[in-house]
Structure 1
Amino acid sequence: MGRHRNSECTSGGLYDGGVEAFLLRLARLLLGGGLSARDVETEVIAAGKALGYPDVQVAALPTGVFVGLSPDAPVQFSAAKSYIRFDQLSEFLSITARLRAGDLPADQACELLESAAAKRAPWSYGVANLGSILVGVGLVALLCPTWPTVAAGLIGSALVAGLATIAGRVKAMAEFLPVIAGFLVSYPILLAADAGWLDYPFRTIVAVLAILFPGSVFVTGLADLVAGHSSAGTARLAAALMQFTLFFVGIALAVMAAGHQLSELLDIAAPAWPLGIKLVGVILATIGIMVFCYCPLRHAASIIALSGVAGALQVYLGGEVSPALGGLVAALVASVGAQALARVGPPWHVTYLPAFMIVAPGSFAFMTASQVSGYSASPLVSAGSAFLGVAVGTLLGGAIKELEFSKTLARGVRRRRA
């Protein structure tokens, strides 16, 4: 590997400048794929060691990354892409895994990264947003599986899909999407409840809007904060709280327009539906997330199986014991299970992140907290405990993952030296 500056990949290898450019681009792409600051730094440092730079410096923020090849080398900054599809993320993580294992030359890694970053979407943006319909219907089946609520969930989710598609093309609307969606979804559901057409309006509203909730951002922020990434964690928490506030404003406006009181929506008493129906809801929601996030179809079986197991544990433990325990166990099982599956194929983030989006408070644990029958704490306390449970489970899973990273990297270094 050369030691003079060059800013591009070459057919013969990567020079210092090329390694720096490669790691910088890798970092911003992984950050745009939804990885936490800790995970981005872990992946980039491991890739740097595999390329012969054991002292790589990297600092990930929510909107960009700093990378340097050594403590004394100049540091470069790059803004993160706002959104990376999961099919691309799968290839990025496969590249880093092969680098750590010593199975991929540096020049080929650069070429593969360029190719994956330029890859066309397997389906259109509008089709991806249709996945929110499956998510909404699946979560209705999880929370309140009656025919009127399923119908309301189908119509409301179709509205959310349309609003999200428009917001993707109109920036001004994207900024106010939580308020707009919160009002336009909640108001007709509340009117239908007043007319006696459906029960459980709050559950239906939460199920329909869940795909837009920043629950995963909130828990990732907590995980970053606990791991010592105060800047990234605080920024993510602030952004998630602002999004939740905007949703609350939209729902509150609908409640006032319909002549209701907010306290009426916090009635969590409901019949106990069979676990099988709830599990069907989890699977439908998982398939919807796969469509929404462009998950690779070749990993569909792994993603659905892991999300189903984690979701079933969350439903059972969250209802029978507490939301906190359900969130902790589900997040831990999702992380460890994804690492086990990574040994036979799909990168761990690609199977873990959809499961995480199911067990994260915004898309699953929050709704588990809102549906618990017989649990003495208030819905807000239940939701808070679920947040913390998922965060702790995520941290424990991350610690196990870092140990596995270290073992894989050590084997790769020995293979390169041999």
Structure 2
Amino acid sequence: MIAGGQPVHEVEYDLKGVATALGYPLAQVGATPTGLTLGLEPGAAASFESVDGPLRLDQSAVVADVRRGLVRRTLSVDEAFARLGNLRSLPHHYPRWVQDISWPAIAIGIAMLLQPGWPNILAAAIGGVVVMLLVKLAGRVRLAATLLPTIAAFVVGTGVFAAAQAGWLDGPLRTLLAPLAVLLPGALVVTGMSELAAGAMVAGSARLTFGTVQLLLFSLGVLSATTVLGVAPELLANVRVNQLGTWGPPVGLAVICVGVCLNEGASMRLLPAIALVVAAAFGAQLAGQAVSGAVLGGFLGAIAGSLGASLVAYLRPQLPRLVVFLPAFWVLVPGSLGLLSVTSVGIDPQQGVRTVVDVGAVICALALGLLFGSAMAQAAAGQLARVRTPR
């Protein structure tokens, strides 16, 4: 669950539920972003297990299924260990070439939301391919993995800004964000904020610190690209073009959902539920932005996404909440941060402080929206359970 990106306070809550179902109601659980400490009884010996690396959505779905089986006592402990032991070796649902196509597909979908112009979409697709190649390089070269945000931002930024200088496209900042969105630590930072709000101070502080460093590396790459090319100030403006009309956003959302499923190995049977939650979150975000700007948009979008995913998981338990919600989260974060042009941090010193404050406000709004949505979902689930329970 930790490797799947779940906040640590939710991990601890879920594991205590599993421990209670297995006959250990006094089990003590301590989760961090990098590992888990578990003791079955107060004062008893505890064990620690580190996190090996992130999980794909299909692997997270297996974890959720195992947890549900243990809580409902439809799965034995031995069967659970067997399924979890083979988790890392599970083959990807789709062949390698399909996974490769998913990178530019996600970039195209995000571009259709942030900068819906044909030249911009083409540039985003090319940038998605570049990012894919750099991610593969980072998997083989340790130094490249450490500097991946800076290298990717510099390479993609150089290409996009050069195209803008040649007059091939407008609004390079928004165009730049589309292929790099998968590398931005927005989800990590928002998760850290939600952990802090829930009282998980160690995990929340660690995620925020790591996410801030990643953002600085990203900004360094963009700044280096603008310096090397001598980009004029007018090209750094937050300009949005729209050559697609009203059909661009819904098609973009669909492309993102399909791309995420292909990239993360999620079964296509999850696609309708994922698309429903993504559409609800994005619609609420747009409504909030129209009324009062990006902060309210992020807050309402996070509530809609978290509440929608929880209700879907309650009504159809075979659809894991985290797997259904994460794609909506990835749409919300680039959309909110793109509106505020997070890439202007470090580029325009005069606007840098204001941009940091604005981005911080959006991140807080997203984190609070997650908490509100989860609380509303728990209340709704309780009401539904009472209605379904015969008297």
| Contact 2:117/2:244 (<8 A) preserved | no
1:366 aligns with 2:343: no
The corresponding residue for 2:175 is: 204
Gaps of 5+ in 2: 343-352, 387-391
Aligned partner of 1:397 among 362, 370, 373 = 373
The corresponding residue for 2:324 is: 351
| Contact 1:129/1:165 (<8 A) preserved | no
The corresponding residue for 1:130 is: 101
Distance change in 2, residues 1:66/1:252 (3 Å): same
| Contact 1:129/1:164 (<8 A) preserved | no
SS at match of 1:211: coil
**Matches of residues 227-266 of structure 1 in structure 2 within 5 Å?**
227-260=198-231, 264-266=235-237
CA-based RMSD of the aligned residues comes to 2.7
Give CA-to-partner distance per residue, 1:29-86, whole Å, 9 cap, x none.
Answer: x111111111211111111011111111111111111000012111111111211111
The corresponding residue for 2:69 is: 98
| Contact 2:191/2:367 (<8 A) preserved | yes
| Contact 2:171/2:235 (<8 A) preserved | no
Alpha-carbon separation, structure 1, partners of 2:100 and 2:196: 31
The corresponding residue for 1:388 is: 364
**Matches of residues 37-116 of structure 1 in structure 2 within 5 Å?**
37-116=8-87
Identity %: 30
Alpha-carbon separation, structure 2, partners of 1:186 and 1:208: 10
- Measured after TM superposition, the shift of residue 162 of structure 1 is 1.2
The corresponding residue for 2:302 is: 331
Which TM-score applies when normalising by structure 1?
0.82
- Measured after TM superposition, the shift of residue 336 of structure 1 is 1.3
Distance change in 2, residues 1:273/1:58 (3 Å): same
Alpha-carbon separation, structure 1, partners of 2:83 and 2:159: 49
| Contact 1:328/1:393 (<8 A) preserved | yes
Number of residue-to-residue matches in the alignment: 375
- Measured after TM superposition, the shift of residue 403 of structure 1 is 5.8
Distance change in 2, residues 1:263/1:402 (3 Å): farther
Alpha-carbon separation, structure 1, partners of 2:109 and 2:205: 32
Letter of the 1:277 partner, please give it.
G
Which TM-score applies when normalising by structure 2?
0.88
Letter of the 1:354 partner, please give it.
P
| Contact 1:279/1:312 (<8 A) preserved | no
1:305 aligns with 2:276: yes
Alpha-carbon separation, structure 1, partners of 2:339 and 2:287: 10
Alpha-carbon separation, structure 2, partners of 1:178 and 1:367: 17
SS at match of 1:228: coil
The corresponding residue for 2:162 is: 191
1:280 aligns with 2:218: no
Distance change in 2, residues 1:124/1:404 (3 Å): farther
1:171 aligns with 2:142: yes
Distance change in 2, residues 1:129/1:108 (3 Å): same
- Measured after TM superposition, the shift of residue 353 of structure 1 is 1.3
Alpha-carbon separation, structure 1, partners of 2:29 and 2:243: 49
The corresponding residue for 2:195 is: 224
Aligned partner of 2:124 among 138, 153, 161 = 153
Alpha-carbon separation, structure 2, partners of 1:99 and 1:243: 37
| Contact 1:311/1:359 (<8 A) preserved | yes
| Contact 2:3/2:54 (<8 A) preserved | yes
Gaps of 5+ in 1: 1-29, 372-376, 411-418
SS at match of 1:71: coil
- Measured after TM superposition, the shift of residue 173 of structure 1 is 1.0
Letter of the 2:320 partner, please give it.
P
Give CA-to-partner distance per residue, 1:230-276, whole Å, 9 cap, x none.
Answer: 11011100111111111101000000011025685243465697443
- Measured after TM superposition, the shift of residue 145 of structure 1 is 1.3
The corresponding residue for 1:341 is: 312
SS at match of 1:212: coil
Letter of the 1:71 partner, please give it.
P
Alpha-carbon separation, structure 2, partners of 1:126 and 1:387: 35
- Measured after TM superposition, the shift of residue 179 of structure 1 is 0.9
Alpha-carbon separation, structure 1, partners of 2:223 and 2:384: 51
Distance change in 2, residues 1:408/1:126 (3 Å): farther
Distance change in 2, residues 1:286/1:242 (3 Å): same
Distance change in 2, residues 1:272/1:234 (3 Å): farther
Letter of the 1:137 partner, please give it.
I
SS at match of 1:70: coil
Distance change in 2, residues 1:165/1:408 (3 Å): farther
Alpha-carbon separation, structure 1, partners of 2:370 and 2:100: 27
- Measured after TM superposition, the shift of residue 385 of structure 1 is 2.4
| Contact 1:179/1:246 (<8 A) preserved | yes
Alpha-carbon separation, structure 1, partners of 2:384 and 2:41: 22
Alpha-carbon separation, structure 1, partners of 2:238 and 2:74: 56
Distance change in 2, residues 1:302/1:171 (3 Å): same
